[in-house]
Chains A and B, each alone.
Chain A
Amino acid sequence: MGGLRLYLEVARRGFRRFATYRAATVAGVSTNTVFGFVRAYILIALYHLRPHLGGLDLRQVVTYTFVTQGYLMPMALFGWTEIEERVRTGDIIGDLYRPVDFQGYWLALDVGRAAYQFLARGVPPVLVAALFFSLRLPTPGEWALVVVSSALGLAVSFGLRYLVNLTSFWLLDARGLSQMLVICEMFLGGIMIPITVFPHGLEAASRVLPFASVAYLPVEFFLGRHTGSDALATLGIQALWAVVLLGAGRIALGAVMRKLVVQGG
């Protein structure tokens, strides 16, 4: 079996699967961008009253809103229940039969999906915003950190979603749990408002929970908030969560395989 080549091919399919819907992409980008403007003006009104709140300046906070809008789709922040649906319909048996690692297959597919959505859904809102606002863009060195941190963020995001989806082998309907994950990612994950403006205890908790690793920490790299040893520590937190969550996913799948009985066909 052609190991890496196989996963690259799966990722390529994941990319192309989403690239088919062009009109839907344009429609989605416009909506993400409009939301970005509304969010930006709310934060601008706040920052006029409290400049430098949470250590961010006006330019950074405007950039934050559009970049977080850009991360919504790549990080599947509105929820993702594809495995869950296949468990509910029984189609999952086909996936489990394949002579390929189950988790690796879905991760590769998700990497392809995210790669497409970074390009198609992530970049445009920021480009449009750059026409209307002065944005704080990363230096070349910071771009490298943004890429690494985003890749780790995707691993954490996938790790969380994969675990939630696997619960459907026990619960059948994991959509409620998936919505709970969305709630945590949106609020504690610093998507709706920067966690630096949270009350201190909540900020400290949010920084160590896995949700901020998904998109907020990559966005902080984008804003140039982490340098030197602090950058390494931040990437370390993300890497730790990625390993823990992906590892937990492997253990959970083992438990699934021990109890799984598929009915019908």
Chain B
Amino acid sequence: MGDTMAVYGRLLAARIRGQWQYRTSFFVYLAAQFTITLLDFLVLLVIFTHVPRFAGWSLWEVALLYGLAGVSFRLADLVVSQVEYLPRHLLAGSFDRMLVRPLGALVQLSAEEFELRRVGTLAEALLVLGLAIAHVPVHWTWARVAVLVSSALSGAVIFACIWILGAAFTFLVVDGREFINAFTYGGNFLSQYPLQIYGTALRIILGIVVPIGFAAFFPVLYILGKPDPVTGVAVIRFLSPAVAAAMALLTRAAWRGAIRHHRSTGS
């Protein structure tokens, strides 16, 4: 484990040094990525020019949800979303090369396709979260801070698992990459608004079965002291770390199974 992290660190450092050579290009991308993600927040602001509360939530309450979900998602995006490139490696045959190296394929994918410019989107989420924390009328107890931090981390694990499960799926359907986007990017988009606004099917499938509600919505209910309009089960607000752990176990099994059954294209 220690060795793996050391090698991962060196690979990342090399990759970052490479990207740092094209500084103008890097900053243009960074600004573009920051702005593209900020558009979702602009839409939220436009909505709040017409209503004082949305689904019973104030602007900064929704912003807290948006920011927290965003931080989780963007952490996973920075470290794990690189598995999206798996189909390309499968088709080119370069995935086989990863399998014979003495380092996990996931670690290699994450390092090889790492894009430092994605910190631009993380910065946007942190900015909105920071503004929301400054504006929501919440009395910040240690318990609330603990739920906030554990929610960000659990959410990151949940989104990371969805990405890896999606990659495991593309072993079977090499062209299926865009299908996964419905759960990753679509999941992030859905998690920016209170879960009760969605139709029952969407709420259950994307909110609870694919447990995106646990990435931010349920913990935020606790932080804001709101009743749960979706499940009505009080304990659900604290289950995010447990859900994340269960997802991680499931994902580990699925990824290992996928690798075991993988047959190279031979190219």
Binding site for B on A (CB under 8 A): 21-24, 26-28, 30-31, 34-35, 37-38, 41-42, 44-46, 49-50, 53, 132, 173, 175-177, 179-180, 182-183, 186-187, 192-193, 197-199
Q: Which residues of A contact B51 (CB under 8 A)?
A: 46, 49-50
> CB distance A176 to B202 under 8 Å?
no
- The verdict on A179 contacting B54 (CB below 8 Å), with A38-B186, A42-B197 known, is no
> CB distance B49 to A31 under 8 Å?
no
Q: How far is the CB of A209 from chain B (nearest CB, A)?
A: 16
Q: Which residues of B contact A42 (CB under 8 A)?
A: 47, 193, 197
Instruction: Tell me, in angstroms, the Cα distance from A183 to B142 when the chains sit together.
Output: 39
> CB distance A53 to B182 under 8 Å?
no
Q: Does B20 interact with chain A (Cβ within 8 Å)?
A: no
Binding site for A on B (CB under 8 A): 22, 25, 28-29, 31-33, 35-36, 39-40, 42-43, 46-47, 49-51, 54-55, 173-179, 181-182, 185-186, 189-190, 193, 197-199, 202, 206
> CB distance B32 to A38 under 8 Å?
no
> CB distance A41 to B202 under 8 Å?
yes
Instruction: Tell me, in angstroms, the Cα distance from A38 to B190 when the chains sit together.
Output: 6
Q: For the complex, would chain B's binding face be called helix, strand, loop or mixed by DSSP majority?
A: helix
Q: Residue of B at shortest CB range from A176?
A: B28
Q: Residue of B at shortest CB range from A202?
A: B46
Instruction: Tell me, in angstroms, the Cα distance from A49 to B51 when the chains sit together.
Output: 7
Instruction: Tell me, in angstroms, the Cα distance from A57 to B55 when the chains sit together.
Output: 19
Q: Which residues of B contact A198 (CB under 8 A)?
A: 46
Instruction: Tell me, in angstroms, the Cα distance from A24 to B176 when the chains sit together.
Output: 6
> CB distance A49 to B49 under 8 Å?
no
Q: How far is the CB of A70 from chain B (nearest CB, A)?
A: 15
> CB distance A31 to B178 under 8 Å?
yes
- The verdict on A35 contacting B176 (CB below 8 Å), with A44-B197, A45-B197, A183-B35 known, is no
Q: Residue of A at shortest CB range from B186?
A: A34
Instruction: Tell me, in angstroms, the Cα distance from A199 to B197 when the chains sit together.
Output: 24
- The verdict on A31 contacting B181 (CB below 8 Å), with A45-B197, A183-B32 known, is yes
Partner of A183, one of B22, B39, B177, B193: B39
> CB distance B202 to A180 under 8 Å?
no
Partner of B198, one of A38, A50, A197: A38
